[in-house]
Structure 1
Amino acid sequence: MIGAPEGALGLATGNGWMNSEIFPKVLEHIIKHVRPTKERQIILIMDAHCSHLSVIARKMAKANFIHLIILPPHTSNKTQPLDRTVFGLFKTFFNTAANGFMLQNPGKGITIYDMALLMSDAWTKAATPMNIMSGFRASGIWPLDPHVFDDTDFLPSAVTDRPQPVDKDLTSSQNQPGPS
């Protein structure tokens, strides 16, 4: 993780995709640095990838005052704040850094060991407070704008409609139907 910001977490899988084994490590990292409490709870907005929906991750989040907001599938390009305003810029800045690396190191390929340094500068340039706030505004999260989307914006999620997962340990008795 040469060149990574202090406190950065580096995780990798064989196929490059998040999985339910490493996602709890991401939650541990968030808990360590944000330190949510009952008085200072947090919201984590994420897509509906199966790695985010494991029972272990959901229990860990609940036990640590993290509210998970799952976005409808195939809509994160509109509903995920960072997709709206940060990730495109990040990709542009990363590509510029990668091109510069290759010009300075002819014949040397970029390896996983070079990624932290290349990504760090790109992230710092893209993830500015102004860009992040703009993403929340564009996605209608803050300030809340329930009219930022219409029903047609969510049609792509209909192809993967599935029932909401239920975990009896996470469901409070208040949300259960009472005796008839």
Structure 2
Amino acid sequence: MDWAKSLPGKKVIICDNLSSHLSVSVIELCECHNIQFVFIPSSSTHITQPLDVAFFTPLKKVWRAILLKYKMENPNQTTPNKNHFPKLLHSLVDQVEIYSPKNIKSGFRATGIYPFNPREVLKRVPEYQEDVASYGIDNALLDYLKQIRQPNPTITKRNKKVMTVPGISNSR
């Protein structure tokens, strides 16, 4: 908390809702140093946490591409062979920029933390999109999906019971 003592005015700590991040002693210490907690909404780190946005999401995309290529080259294997795993991991490390100030800054910008811009997060939330067309989904596709959708998918029709006599063929 030494950094907080040296800065004048109110300070903010942004964190997720993990219970281990918060305790009575931490709250008291923050109050003494004019620090407020801001919690990001639950289950939203994929759009509100800079590390998730700028690092883990691109990392997952590259890893999935590497695994897809591996599966295409090795169709008989259901999972990567443990002897191939180090090579796959090395390929991942080569393709992903592990640390870069530019990448870190872009994470804070993309989540609207710095510079402060809540619209950056809101534009990623589907309910806040102005129209469905902005997703690139064709209205014809949406109409088709509405037509084929069952009115109540949890209720299924039972097949009618066919009476058969043992030993006699039912084919006609």
Fold conserved between structures, TM > 0.5: no
Does 1 or 2 have the higher relative contact order (CA < 8 Å, sep 6+)?
A: 1
TM-score by length of 1: 0.42
Task: Tell me which structure has the larger Cα radius of gyration.
Answer: 2
TM-score by length of 2: 0.44
